[in-house]
Each structure stands twice: as C-alpha cells, then as structure tokens.
Structure 1
Amino acid sequence: METMSFTVPLAAVLLLLLFGPTSGEIKNLKIESDTRPMILFEKFGFTHTGQVTVAVSKVSVISSIASPDPNRLGFFLLSEESLIQVIMEMQSDLNLCVLDARYINLLFTFSDLSPPPSASFNSSYPITWPNEYSLFFANCGPESRVTMDVYTEIYNLDAGGEKDYLSAGITQLPSLFFVFSLIYSTFLIIWIYVCFGNKITVQRIHILMAVLLLMKALNLICAAEDKHYVKVTGTPHGWDVLFYIFQFIRVVLLFTVIVLIGTGWSFLKPFLQEKEKKILMIVIPLQVLANVASIVIGETGPFIKDWVTWNQVFLLVDIICCCAIIFPIVWSIRSLRETSKTDGKAARNLAKLTLFRQFYMVLIGYLYFTRIVVFALKTIAAYKYQWVSSAAEEIASFAFYVVMFYMFMPVEKNEYFVINEEDEEAAEIALREEEFEL
C-alpha cells in the first residue's frame, strides 16, 4: 500500500508542470533528508539533438521501516502527453511504483550506483524523440529519507553543434528582449523630447514616467543578456542579479505610476489623500513580497519543498495588487462626477471624466490580457512556441505604455481640455442626463 501516496503527487504534478521552468541551466542541487515521493527538477523542450546529463553523489538513503530497495529510487523523464497515461496506470494498480510505469523514460535507479545505495553515478542520455520532458526523481521506498547532491545539464545542439541550454520553445527570447529594449530606449528618447518641448506643462509625474521607461529598457537588456549567457554557457554569470534588481524597480514604479495617475496626482490635485497613501503603502510592500517570490521561483526551481507555495504567494499578491490599483481610478471618476455638480466647469470635468474612464478601461484590458490571456497562451501553446506568450506579453505591455503615456502626455493644449461655450453647454446636458440615468 506504500505506493498509494503516488496517485496524489502525480495528479498534483499536472498543475506543477504548468508553472515549471523551461530552462536547462547547469545546476548543482542539494537534497537533504527528503521524503517526497516525487521531485520535479526541470522541464525542457528537446529537439532531435537533445541531451540530458545527470550525476548524483554523496547519496544516503535512510528508512525507519526496512532497508530500502535501490530499485525503488531513481530518475526518469516524463512528457506531458504521457503524464495522464501514467496517472491512469497507477490508479488501476495502486501497488505500482512510478519507476515501473510503461510510459516513462527511465534513466537510472540507485541500483546503478557503485556500490549501492551510498555512492555516486554520472551518465548522459540522448533524446531520441523530440518533445517537452520533465526530469523527475522518484522515491518508492517506505518512509525513506534521501540525501544527495545532484548535478544536471540539459541542452540541445544547434545547427553549428554548439550547446543551447535554453528550451526549444524559448531559445528566441534573448533576441526578443533585446529588440524590445531598443524599442523602449527609443520611446524614452521621444518622451524626453516631448517633455523638453512642453516644459511649462511638465509635472513631476512625467519625470517619474521617464524613469519608468528607463527601468523597463534596462530590465529588458538585462533579461536579454541573462538569457543569452544561459543559452551559451548554462549559467547566468551574474546577469540574473541585475535582471531582478531592475525588474523590482520597474514593477514597483509601474504600479506607483498607475496609482498616482489614477488618483489624479499632478493632473487634478498636487497632493494625495490618506486613503490614496494607504493604497501605495499596501501596493509597494506587496510588490516587494511578489518580487521575492519571483526570485525564489526563478532561481531555485521546483525541486525545493516550498516551490508550489511560493508560486501561490506570487499569484495571490499579484491579484491583490491588480485589484488595489483599480480603486484610485474609481475614486477619481466618482470625485469628478461629484465636482461637476458644483464648480460650474461641466465641460472640463466631463473631459477629465472621459479621460479617466478610458484609462480605467485600458488598464482593465491590460491586466486581463497579461494575467489571463498570456497564461492561457503558455498553457495551450506547443512547447516549440513558448516564446509566443512572452512576445504577446511584451507587445501588450508596450501598447499599454504607449496609450497611458499618450493620454497623460505634457502638452500645452490637450485635446481633452480645449473648451468653448458650446462644449460647456453640451457637457452640462450630458452630465445631467448621466446623473438622471444613474
């Protein structure tokens, strides 16, 4: 009955694989007194030239019940197509160890160690059938605790015979990120030119928006270099540190700019109310937590025990932040509607109200696309086209930046605020009709 515990882990793996990493970096990992029936190490898209190298050393297996059978512990590859078949196979035979399942690609068991069960093993395996595979370790021993050092090297060979440590579906990312870094750098130059051409109307928020563009460009160039070095060497060579630094600054700045624009700071009023300050005090610490979770997810991989928990933390925090930044825009829309009844500037208020409503819709569309549509693309796209979801996310983000910056650009005569008497009268009628409808 000891293998009954495998049916739950295998079912959970189906969810785990949706978030699993797809880079084949060279990794040295340490497992200490681990009792998990299954451990996911890597998920990687292979071409017909793929290769897997796994080495284990300092292996120790301890069981409080009986001496562990070395054939019940080992490494294997599993494709997502075969996962369901393995789950069904094990549900039909609750005593079956996953290492004995027909649909796995068994690499080796601890019986191959010399001498078993506490020694080392090192071997490479060519991939004969191109697909996306996940590298697992299985422990079918009853109450067995496993300690070992694990070295993994997973790669494809490119047309020139060089090792490519990026999965077949994301090997295009270095070029993609580099192109977008150039696009944002150009965008920043244009924004600076616009600001200098309209010095009279430039507000502090416009300077903050320029810093946001700079951080986005730096984040992308570091992402490009990070992925490039992983692609050619298997290790990031420190570029991952810069990437996470600029990513943290960029994300915090983005949410801050959205909140400040949503509150009308610099456009409607030069100050923040207490409730708006509280939103910033909530969003910024949450973004710190989200970035910590992102670093843990990206740097450690799913082999750590709390990897799924960190994924859940990241998703929860991201959802909370996305909801929080919407409230200031709603407050500004409500405030403009109330002000229009008393200050005698109906047309100007209607123009501002229209502007903030449009920004609200654009923001909702951006959040929906980058959080739901992009995730759907990652899930349904074939492993060779995983880069498409990253491209879609960057295109959507750039479109959002362009629209947001255009709507709130520092121009002396904004089309929303060019008012004449006819506009004033029409606006008063429109506002009265809207109030009547509400």
Structure 2
Amino acid sequence: MTKLGFLLLLLLLLLHLGGAEIKTLTISSDQRPLILLERFGFTHTGHASISISGVSVTSTLATPDPSTLGFFLLNQDSLIQLLIQLQQTPQFCVLQSKFITLLFTFQNLSPLPHSSFNSTYPIHSPNEYSLFFANCAPESKVSMRLKTELFNYDGENKDYLSAGLTVLPVLYFVFSVLYLVFLGVWVRVCVANKESVHRIHLLMGSLVVMKAFNLVFAAEDKHYVKVTGTAHGWDVLFYIFQGIRVVLLFTVIVLIGTGWSFLKPFLQDREKKVLMVVIPLQVLANVASVVIGETGPFIRDWMTWNQMFLLIDIICCCAIIFPIVWSIRSLRETSKTDGKAARNLAKLTLFRQFYIVVIGYLYFTRIVVFALGTIAAYKYQWVANAAEEIASLAFYIVMFYMFKPAVKNEYFVLDDEEEEAAEMALRDEEFEL
C-alpha cells in the first residue's frame, strides 16, 4: 500500500459518517486494496452480519490466494498502529495484522459456482469500528454482491443506528416542536404589527415552516432506520425539505443583507447575480448531499462528492457575506449626505450586528460542529448534532428579532436629541477613518 493510501485511509476514518443501516451493494471489477464499507458504534450487544454472493476474482497474474481477500473490522484505537505497520512494511497484507478484527477471508467461501458466504459476528469489545474489505492480491479485480447489517440489541429489538446516534429521532422531534412554537410566536408578532409587515417577513415565516418540516422528516427518517434498517421513503422527503430549507435560508440571508423589502423594494444587478449564483449552487450541493447520504464511502467517487459538497458550501458561505458588506458601505456613504444621521447610524449598527451574527453562525456550524463530531467519543456523536441545532435555533431567533416587524422600530423612530448625538458619532467615525 502506498503512502497516498495511508493518507486516504486516515482521512476517510476522520470524516463523520452517518449511522449505518442495512446496505445492499454490488461491487464490480474493483481492484482497490481497501474499501471502506461502513462505520458503526457498537455497544456490548453489537453484531455485524455480512452476506456475499456471486463472488468472482480475476487476475492478470497467477490465481490469487483466497486468504489475501477478506473482511475485517478496525476500531479507532488501533488505527494509528495499523498505519505505522503498513508504512513500515509496504508489502504487508492488512488481513494479517494483529491490530484488526478479522471476520473472514475468501477461504471460507462455498465451492464454485455458488461462491457465497453468510455469517453474523458478535462484538466482544464495545467501540466504534470501521468495516473494510481488503484485497491484497496484486493485479486482481473482485466482483460480488454484498449485504451488511451492523446493529446493537436494544432489549430484544435490533437498533440499526450507531450507539452515538440512537437518540437522534427524539432530538430532531424536540427541535421540530420548538420551531413550530417559534412559528406561532412569529405569526403573532406579524399579526400584531401587520402595518409593518413586509414581504421579507413572510419569506422568513416560510423559512421556519421549512425548517420545522425538515426536522420532522429527519426524525421519521432516523426512527425508521433505527427500527428497520431502512428509511422506507422518509429519506426522500427529508432530502426534499432539506434542499428547500437550505436554499431558502441562504436566500433570506442575502435578501436581508441587501435590505430588500426592509429598506428598499428592489435589488441591484450585483445583488441579483449573488442570488443567481447561490441558488443553483445550493441545488447542486443538495444533489451532492443526496449522493453522499444514499451511497456511502464504498463507491469510487465518494471522496470527490465530499470535496464538491465542501467547495460549494464554502463558496455559498462567502457569497452571502458580500450583500451585507455592500449594505454597510452604502449606509456609511448615505449617512454623510442625506442629513438623517441617527436613522442611518442605527441602520449601520443593525447591519454590522447582523454581519457578526452571520459570520458567527457560519463559523460555528462549519468549524466547531465538525470539530465536536471529530473529537467526541463515539457514544456522544449526537452532541455535534445537538450543538448544530442549538446554534441554528439561536441564529433564527436573533435574526428574526433584529428584523421583526414593529410599528415603532427602535432603528427608525428617533427623536431630535438622538439625531444630534448620532451626527456627532458620525463625525467622530469619519475622523477616525
């Protein structure tokens, strides 16, 4: 195995993978030395079930030794030791390592032409394990049909969610209820101040609806995976509302950042271009998310899809910042010329605060949440999901509070004394600049 293989293996194991379920896949003429199939957190009641059929191995060299092809489990604690061992001995077959839990090799296959195997293995040492298929036979290609079931027993019932993710159905349901309550409060605020309601406020309400539905279907999706090992179609609804919600969230941030419907009833050409870039990219990101979620690390291009998703997310996060910066610059210039110092200073302060809130939200959900998912013990992977939902709810509350409809908005109803104080503040600001 090459050094590049070491790095790819390490990267794959550091990436956050979703909870396992019943997976059925077909591997066709694959010559990769290592294929990561699943990652799963086992308790003391954990089991791994593997069934393969239609196995065929072709090689341009001599007939491969069946003991050089097989399946094994690797826990996180043994990862570094295995990488060191492979690096020190490049020709060493991973199936012979003392740091792995060998399940079976092709020596256990039934005789041709059936070439099949089926067995369930209890997990004696609770931990987070990665399930691999290894091919140590040089110049050989493997084809087979594979079915995996990784699960823990919850009493007499199978739990197909990883030990650290088994609480996600309840977690998502609780947050969906919180968003429905939040929606009720928002509707009440809009009705109480209906003279001040703009189109952006209606769009913000739609965003809360989409977020609530997204969490409801996420809860249902995880519940059915937990109980049956398959999502039974709930994953389709989850991905639909996930895509709509994300597109709507970025659109609302861009529109608020430009002041659309709140400060002005139109969008400039450059602001329209931002939306024309962000919305298609978010649709593409949602497609990448579906591919990542519905396939798994075993496909050849899985890493490419991950990189695409990450790149698109970074581009969109950068793009939505520009309209806020443009609004801040425009308000700063306007405050010097139109004679409404206090009002423009208040608007300037508001958009600066919004800029900080957006940056904080993006940083936390992209960096801190990823770090939590990486460093948290496998039994507490749900903490990263909880942190992300808490941060999202806090962001929604702050954003909606800052731009809520109000007859006497503190940023627009100001007396003469505040006007004079604002003019002095603007002069001081210009002097500092």
**TM-score category, normalised to shorter length:** over 0.9
SS at match of 1:76: strand
Counterpart check, 1:93 vs 2:89: yes
Q: Deviations over 1:300-330 (max 9, x none)?
A: 0100000011111111110110000000000
Of the three residues 302, 309, 319, the one matched with 1:307 is 302
1:376 counterpart residue number: 371
Matched, 1:39 2:48: no
Deviations 1:210-232 (A, max 9, x none): 10000000000000000000000
Question: Any idea what SS the aligned residue of 2:64 has?
Answer: coil
Which residue of the partner structure matches residue 122 of structure 2? 126
In the aligned structure 2, how far is the partner of 1:100 from the partner of 1:8? Answer: 21
- The residue aligned with 1:385 is 380
Q: SS where residue 111 of structure 2 aligns? A: coil
- Structure 2 residue 244 is the aligned partner of structure 1 residue 249: yes
The one-letter amino acid paired with 2:336 is K
**Matched residues in 2 for 1:426 and 1:371: separation?**
40
Q: TM-score, normalised by structure 1?
A: 0.97
Distance 1:263 1:151 in 2: 51
Matching residue within 321, 324, 339 for 2:319? 324
**Which residue does the alignment assign to 1:142?**
138
Q: 1:177 aligns with which of 172, 176, 198?
A: 172
Contact 1:61–1:118 (CA under 8 A) maintained in structure 2? no
Equivalent in the alignment of 1:111: 107
Where do 1:43-62 residues align within 5 Å?
Answer: 43-62=39-58
Matches within 5 A, 1:135-284: 135-158=131-154, 160-284=155-279
Kept after mapping to 1: 8 A contact 2:31/2:140: yes
**CA distance in 2 between partners of 1:116 and 1:91 (Å):** 36
Gaps of 5+ in 1: none
Aligned to 2:63: 67
Show CA shifts across 1:26-52 (max 9, x none).
111110111111000100000000000
Contact preservation (8 Å) 1:20, 1:302: no
1:436 aligns with 2:431: yes
Give me the whole-angstrom Cα distance separating, in 2, the residues matched to 1:157 and 1:403: 42
Moved over 6 A (4+): none
Inter-partner Cα distance in structure 1 for 2:359 and 2:283: 23
Distance 2:6 2:302 in 1: 16
CA contact (8 A) 2:27 2:146 kept: yes
In the alignment, the residues of structure 1 paired with residue 114 and residue 10 of structure 2 have an alpha-carbon distance, to the nearest angstrom, of 31
Partners of 2:6 and 2:38 in 1: CA distance = 15
- Residue type matched to 1:179 in 2? V
Change over 3 Å in CA distance of 1:19–1:112 after alignment to 2:
same
Give the Cα separation in 2 of the matches to 1:223 and 1:163: 20
- What is the RMSD computed on CA atoms of the aligned residues? 1.0
Q: How many residues align?
A: 433
Tell me if structure 1 keeps the 8 A contact 2:289–2:309. yes
The verdict on how the C-alpha distance between 1:117 and 1:355 changes in structure 2, with shifts beyond 3 A counting, is farther
Alignment of structure 1 residues 354-365 onto 2, 5 Å:
354-365=349-360
Query: Residues of 2 paired with 1:342 and 1:117: CA distance?
Result: 86
State the percentage of identical aligned residues. Answer: 72
| Equivalent residue for 1:416, pick from 411, 415, 427 | 411
Return closer, same or farther for 1:370/1:81 CA change in 2, 3 Å cut-off. same
Q: Distance in 1 between matches of 2:39 and 2:394?
A: 31
* Structure 2 spans left out of the alignment, 5+ residues: none
Confirm or deny: 8 A CA contact 2:38 2:130 kept in the other structure: yes
CA–CA distance in structure 1, aligned partners of residues 422 and 113 of structure 2: 82
Work out whether residues 60 and 118 of structure 1, in 8 Å CA contact, stay in contact via their aligned partners in 2: no
For 2:241, what is the secondary structure of its paired residue? helix
Give 1:157 shift.
0.4
The one-letter amino acid paired with 2:152 is N
420-429 or 90-99, larger mean C-alpha shift: 90-99
Q: Once the 2 structures are TM-superposed, how far is the Cα of residue 417 of structure 1 from its aligned partner?
A: 1.9
Q: Is the 8 A contact 2:345 2:422 kept in 1?
A: yes
- Residues of 1 paired with 2:16 and 2:348: CA distance? 43
Moved more, 278-287 or 118-127: 118-127
Does the Cα contact within 8 Å between 2:18 and 2:293 map onto a contact in 1? no
Retained in 1: the 8 A contact 2:164–2:380?
yes
Q: What CA deviation, in whole Å up to 9, does each residue of 1:163-207 have, x standing for no partner?
A: 000000000000000000000011111111111111111000000
Name the CA distance, whole Å, in 2 between partners of 1:65 and 1:282: 51
Which amino acid in the other structure matches residue 432 of structure 2?
A: E
More moved, 178-187 vs 427-436: 427-436
Q: Of the candidates 75, 81, 84, which is equivalent to residue 79 of structure 1? A: 75
Aligned mates of 1:200, 1:414 — CA distance in 2: 12
Q: Does 1:26 align with 2:25?
A: no
Deviation at 1:147, TM superposition (A): 0.7
Q: Give deviations 1:332-377, integer Å, cap 9, x for gaps.
A: 0000010111111000000000000000001111011000000000
Distance 2:313 2:69 in 1: 38
AA at the equivalent of 2:20: G
8 A contact 1:198–1:410 mirrored in 2 = yes
